[in-house]
Structure 1
Amino acid sequence: MGLAVLLLLLAAVGGGPQVGTDSEPPDRATLTFVDETGTELGTVDATIAAGFFERYTGLSETDRLGPDAGMVFVYPEAGERTFVMRNMSFPIDMIFVGADGEITAVHHAAPEDDREFSGQARWVIEVNRGYTDAHEIDVGDSVRGLPR
């Protein structure tokens, strides 16, 4: 069965990506990064990627992000996650977040980077490259506002 046929079948039964229309924007979450003392380090307005196809596509069809924008990939449970820079046109930071909301890994990636980026996570947040450095976000910090 071709991929196009499979996508049409999944969409027909409600298993396809949940893409917003002009009257219905995609789901979003406001994520706040905090350090171990509870001090806020930064806030991101993130598009939620919770379905298989949303997570597979990610930001690959996006030309750029606003300065405080991103995408949060949501998984039903924590596990080892691996990301690649498939069809990306701009550099990003990848923030891996465990089931308790604590950051477990931060990776910096360029569009031409062909490495795999892995970490333990229930959520993975992608933001513009340099966001984590500018806001001093690192492993051990936490994220509030994560979608379930």
Structure 2
Amino acid sequence: MAAAIIRTFTLVLLLVAAGLGPVSAAETFRTDRLTIETASGGKYPFAIEVAETPRQMAQGLMFRETMAPDAGMLFVLPQLQTMSMWMKNTFIPLDMVFIGADGRIVNIHENAVPQSLDTISSAGQVKGVLEINGGMAARLGIRAGDRVVHPAFQQQG
């Protein structure tokens, strides 16, 4: 976990050193759709924004005051890794859904506290993180082991 925290802070320091920080609400994101399929048979579509570049990932959902119930942001990582995030300058509570390379949900951190500097980490190596409105995972019955269907993940069986 210490290595993941170091990578996270290193990314932030590199962005600042490269003149890409401090992060402001200037980044734009491509939009897409994904579906979460639950073990109980639920299929839940989300309209997402995709964070793919270091600048987009650093900004994420910072400075937003609202988000539609069926919306979210998908962070697509360049390689499998343990991912750590925080809620600095994020004004809405979020559920963070950590996703393996095969699209299976590794773990969920529910109701991340707005503006908290606490580190929130995946429970293993992931290929992506989906941020949705806080409490949405519980309301829809989304759990670890459920599947996220999106081209960023290699779907198996």
| TM-score scaled by length of structure 1 | 0.79
Q: Which residue number in structure 2 is paired with residue 82 of structure 1? A: 84
The higher radius of gyration belongs to 1
Partner of 1:116: 119
State whether residues 100 and 126 of structure 2, in contact with CA within 8 Å, keep that contact through their aligned partners in structure 1.
yes
Number of residue-to-residue matches in the alignment: 132
Q: Any residues of structure 2 matched to 1:39-54 within 5 Å, and which?
A: 39-54=41-56
What is the distance in 2 between the residues matched to 1:129 and 1:146? 24
| CA displacement at 1:106 relative to structure 2 | 0.2
1:61 counterpart residue number: 63
The unaligned stretches of length 5 or more in structure 2 are 1-14
Higher mean alpha-carbon deviation, 132-141 vs 112-121, is at 112-121
TM-superposed CA distance for 1:117, in Å, is 0.8
| Paired residues of 2:99 and 2:127 also in contact (CA < 8 A) | yes
Q: Is residue 27–residue 55 contact of structure 2 (8 Å, CA) maintained in 1?
A: no
**Could you say what the CA RMSD is over the residues aligned between the two structures, in angstroms?**
2.4
TM superposition score normalised by structure 2: 0.75
Q: 2:140 aligns with which of 123, 135, 144?
A: 135
Provide the secondary structure at the position in 2 that maps to 1:54.
Answer: helix
Q: Which amino acid aligns with 1:30?
A: R
Which amino acid is the alignment partner of residue 31 of structure 1? L
Q: Secondary structure at the residue paired with 1:56? A: helix
How far did 1:3 drift? 4.1
Q: 1:113–1:6: structure 2 CA closer, same or farther, 3 Å change rule?
A: closer
Partner of 1:93: 95
Q: Is the 8 A contact 1:41 1:135 kept in 2?
A: no
Counterpart of 2:30? 27
> Which amino acid counterpart does residue 149 of structure 2 have in structure 1?
R
Q: Which runs of 5+ in 1 are unaligned?
A: 9-17, 21-25
Identity %: 30
TM-superposition CA deviations, 1:108-143 (whole Å, max 9, x none) = 211143321111311100010011011100100010
Task: Give me the whole-angstrom Cα distance separating, in 2, the residues matched to 1:118 and 1:80.
Answer: 7
